[in-house]
Chain A
């Protein structure tokens, strides 16, 4: 008997706008000792399916319309709330996407860890604490005894996810549901967490449901894969089968979206547009502390028309380099020469003129667009401000931009919240390109997007950089993404450049240990090699 057997599960959301069938008759099963991955893009119903079985979606607006979910032969959908509570956190445990927000910021991690054990198993506080410390040790928290009374904000994202995993496993559940557990993490940390989940699963021989939007992430760990689209299962089966003999077009699209291959580097003569020399950007920490050396003695050139990739983990200083070039942060020492002028010395009007020649695209298209401005307003503003169009011609200018970034013209009067993440990033790109900048800093522009959308945006950026003759600094933690787009790549570690070269150089002949480590972290290496 399967550990969990879902038959024809149907879940709807009933709102004033009508009924939306989020999960439309899906069936799958999860075996003890196996990892089953559910893959699909945002809104495909993959999370709703799992949450609804455990009574974790609010009803209303949620509504379970039918089907069954047999956990060890008992139908979860027929259980009372009290019966479900007995199962949640004891037999079925969950870990969530964003470890930053999923732990209670007002409670020590020790208290939060012990809670499921104290509630479900009625052990003494002493026993609970010992068990919690053992688990923290097991998930790789150094010195659990002294961090036991710490609050979540004192941990890094990766460490919080480890705490979350320890909390999920503390009652030795039979089924673990992991909902995008690595999506909010850097690739290197992602690789560690994936390995941890796989190891713990093997050791305990439990069933795991791993929800993700990215096939590559689960490539190394999943036994079974279920692909969902618009509430339905479109393809499912053994993971080797899915990776090598996928039949459904959507599955193939997902596979094709995994960034692979290097861009052919630019040929012909190279003239540097930007020359960075011995750049240091330090952040003061108060009088008695050493400054944080976010960028320390970095030198490189960016040639005209080139896309330079900047790779490194959180805290490596990659974003700070981009901000230093744009003068968004104070440069401690060194020089940045842009088209012959040292921009670190510019002030006032000169700085403003220079800034109109460069633009920035940000990571989060949800936060970087003004929610009270329509697409038209957002795109028209820079056009008018910099005198590129006048009041009469601005409409045609906006429509031209929308065409360029692949937005339908009839969206022009809509507000940001009416768009998906990918569409918003298109608006943000359109805004950045409105002034015809010579140079663009793209800071993790696709990290917040689903993998299929990510591929579309990368294609768009590649096409536009060619069409507009852009010079670009492309910042990312993901080596595979950078390789896809960049002519040359700099690898950054703790504020210093450790290696540079073309994508092929780095992938095939990495010189530094850190670069090798980054390569090891790329999810689904086996698929793209």
Chain B
């Protein structure tokens, strides 16, 4: 077990290193720099700024210096928010984005899981087609369309929920969570339907029925665990995807999260901020993938036994 985790963590190092390297050089290839603006800046001032942020050094020594910073856990100072470090900015945005991601995941698992399981119990009937059609629409509908639609209906027409904000008015967290979670709910619905269909055709389900158990017990006691393993394996990448993809929703609902910093950083050529968030998010993605793999393996006794032997 520990060997497996250690091995996977070791594997993650070259992946993250590759992400750092590619991002580092890509942002520098992109036209424009952090201190270019419409207003002409005096050459001395610009030179002083560049010297302060090490931009006057050769590219490769900038790269090694940055790696050195990272090794100490420092993402460096932000170029556009003077006096604030990238660590501080991420620290400020992360809790909000993480909370939003968590609620969105909750929405996705509860709605998606239920829909998938319900659909799988009567395949190729209305009970299957209706939730699956809804899921398909959920996958196809981009959040920049769904978000405003929800705001229009629940925020303005019905006037039930606030149209924007985060944690200011009760209920303002609901619409963003649904908007962000709905696409993932749709994926989870499809995954859990496929998983349940597979399990429900297994011989041991027939055994459970032959014992005389009522159908709901057959489903909850015998089928759910095996059927939902694919969903559990998907949770890690899903949560990472929610964190990284929250920009649109954060913009629509005016939420002060990480996603907005991230995209603004790209527009501003805020090199350290772009790199910092990219490295941070890719590390999270690797960790969450590992976590959900471990969880999925733990749910399968056969794999668990293999881990135990190692």
Residues of A with Cβ closer than 8 Å to B?
A: 54, 56, 85-90, 93-94, 96, 98, 101-107, 115-116, 119-120, 151, 153-154, 164, 167
For this complex, 15 residue pairs linking A to B, each with C-beta atoms less than 8 Å apart, are A56-B206, A86-B212, A89-B210, A89-B212, A89-B213, A101-B204, A105-B226, A105-B302, A106-B226, A106-B300, A107-B222, A115-B221, A119-B217, A151-B305, A154-B305
What residues of chain A lie closer than 8 Å to B204, measured between beta carbons?
101-105
Q: Which residue of A lies closest to B304 (CB)?
A: A151
Contact of B207 among A86, A102, A120 (CB under 8 A): A102
Report yes or no: B213 in contact with A115, Cβ–Cβ below 8 A.
yes
Contact of A87 among B212, B221, B299, B305 (CB under 8 A): B212
> What are the interface flags for B180-223 relative to A under an 8 Å C-beta threshold, 1 for contact and 0 otherwise?
00000000000000000000001110111111111001000110
Query: Of residues A54, A87, A119, A120, which shows the largest number of chain B Cβ atoms within 10 Å of its Cβ?
Result: A119
Tell me the smallest distance from the CB of A455 to a CB of chain B, in Å.
Answer: 28
Flag whether B301 is at the interface (Cβ < 8 A): yes
What residues of chain B lie closer than 8 Å to A105, measured between beta carbons?
204, 226, 300-302
User: Which 4 pairs, one residue from A and one from B, show the smallest C-beta to C-beta distance?
Assistant: A89-B212, A88-B212, A89-B211, A151-B301
> What are the interface flags for B17-36 relative to A under an 8 Å C-beta threshold, 1 for contact and 0 otherwise?
00000000000000000000
Contact of B203 among A86, A90, A101, A120 (CB under 8 A): A101
> What are the interface flags for B207-248 relative to A under an 8 Å C-beta threshold, 1 for contact and 0 otherwise?
111111110010001100110000000000000000000000
Interchain CA distance A93-B211 in the complex, whole Å: 7
Known: A102-B203, A102-B204, A104-B207. A153 touches B301 (CB 8 A): yes
Tell me the smallest distance from the CB of B82 to a CB of chain A, in Å.
Answer: 57
Report yes or no: A85 in contact with B302, Cβ–Cβ below 8 A.
no
Known: A98-B203, A101-B203, A101-B204. A106 touches B212 (CB 8 A): no
Q: Which residue of B lies closest to A101 (CB)?
A: B203
Report yes or no: B225 in contact with A96, Cβ–Cβ below 8 A.
no
Report yes or no: B212 in contact with A120, Cβ–Cβ below 8 A.
yes
Interface size class, chain B: 20 to 34
Report yes or no: A94 in contact with B210, Cβ–Cβ below 8 A.
yes
Interchain CA distance A116-B213 in the complex, whole Å: 8
Report yes or no: B214 in contact with A85, Cβ–Cβ below 8 A.
yes
Tell me the smallest distance from the CB of B7 to a CB of chain A, in Å.
Answer: 15
Tell me the smallest distance from the CB of B41 to a CB of chain A, in Å.
Answer: 65
What residues of chain A lie closer than 8 Å to B299, measured between beta carbons?
106
Q: Which residue of A lies closest to B206 (CB)?
A: A56
What residues of chain B lie closer than 8 Å to A96, measured between beta carbons?
203, 206-207
Query: Of residues A56, A101, A102, A164, which shows the largest number of chain B Cβ atoms within 10 Å of its Cβ?
Result: A102
Tell me the smallest distance from the CB of A74 to a CB of chain B, in Å.
Answer: 16
Report yes or no: A151 in contact with B212, Cβ–Cβ below 8 A.
no
What residues of chain B lie closer than 8 Å to A87, measured between beta carbons?
212
What residues of chain A lie closer than 8 Å to B300, measured between beta carbons?
105-106
Interchain CA distance A181-B214 in the complex, whole Å: 25
Known: A96-B203, A102-B204. A88 touches B210 (CB 8 A): yes
Interchain CA distance A103-B302 in the complex, whole Å: 13
Q: Which residue of B lies closest to A120 (CB)?
A: B212
What residues of chain B lie closer than 8 Å to A154, measured between beta carbons?
305
Tell me the smallest distance from the CB of B213 to a CB of chain A, in Å.
Answer: 6
Q: Which residue of A lies closest to B202 (CB)?
A: A101
Report yes or no: A88 in contact with B209, Cβ–Cβ below 8 A.
yes
What residues of chain A lie closer than 8 Å to B217, measured between beta carbons?
119
Interchain CA distance A466-B208 in the complex, whole Å: 50
Q: Which residue of B lies closest to A170 (CB)?
A: B211
Tell me the smallest distance from the CB of B109 to a CB of chain A, in Å.
Answer: 19
Interchain CA distance A90-B226 in the complex, whole Å: 26
Report yes or no: A119 in contact with B213, Cβ–Cβ below 8 A.
yes
What residues of chain A lie closer than 8 Å to B212, measured between beta carbons?
85-90, 116, 119-120
Q: Which residue of A lies closest to B208 (CB)?
A: A104
Report yes or no: B210 in contact with A93, Cβ–Cβ below 8 A.
yes
Q: Which residue of A lies closest to B207 (CB)?
A: A102
What residues of chain B lie closer than 8 Å to A104, measured between beta carbons?
204, 207-208, 222
Tell me the smallest distance from the CB of A132 to a CB of chain B, in Å.
Answer: 13
Contact of B210 among A54, A98, A107 (CB under 8 A): A54
Tell me the smallest distance from the CB of B96 to a CB of chain A, in Å.
Answer: 38
What residues of chain A lie closer than 8 Å to B203, measured between beta carbons?
96, 98, 101-102
Q: Which residue of B lies closest to A289 (CB)?
A: B309
What residues of chain A lie closer than 8 Å to B226, measured between beta carbons?
105-106
Interchain CA distance A106-B221 in the complex, whole Å: 10
Report yes or no: B302 in contact with A151, Cβ–Cβ below 8 A.
yes
Report yes or no: B207 in contact with A103, Cβ–Cβ below 8 A.
yes
Tell me the smallest distance from the CB of A56 to a CB of chain B, in Å.
Answer: 6
Interchain CA distance A115-B208 in the complex, whole Å: 9
What residues of chain A lie closer than 8 Å to B210, measured between beta carbons?
54, 56, 88-89, 93-94
Q: Which residue of A lies closest to B226 (CB)?
A: A106
Tell me the smallest distance from the CB of B201 to a CB of chain A, in Å.
Answer: 10
Interchain CA distance A58-B214 in the complex, whole Å: 15
Interchain CA distance A120-B212 in the complex, whole Å: 8
Tell me the smallest distance from the CB of B127 to a CB of chain A, in Å.
Answer: 15
Query: Of residues B209, B225, B299, which shows the largest number of chain A Cβ atoms within 10 Å of its Cβ?
Result: B209
Query: Of residues B207, B209, B211, B300, which shows the largest number of chain A Cβ atoms within 10 Å of its Cβ?
Result: B211
Tell me the smallest distance from the CB of B27 to a CB of chain A, in Å.
Answer: 47
Q: Which residue of B lies closest to A87 (CB)?
A: B212
Report yes or no: A88 in contact with B305, Cβ–Cβ below 8 A.
no
Tell me the smallest distance from the CB of B298 to a CB of chain A, in Å.
Answer: 11
Tell me the smallest distance from the CB of A518 to a CB of chain B, in Å.
Answer: 29
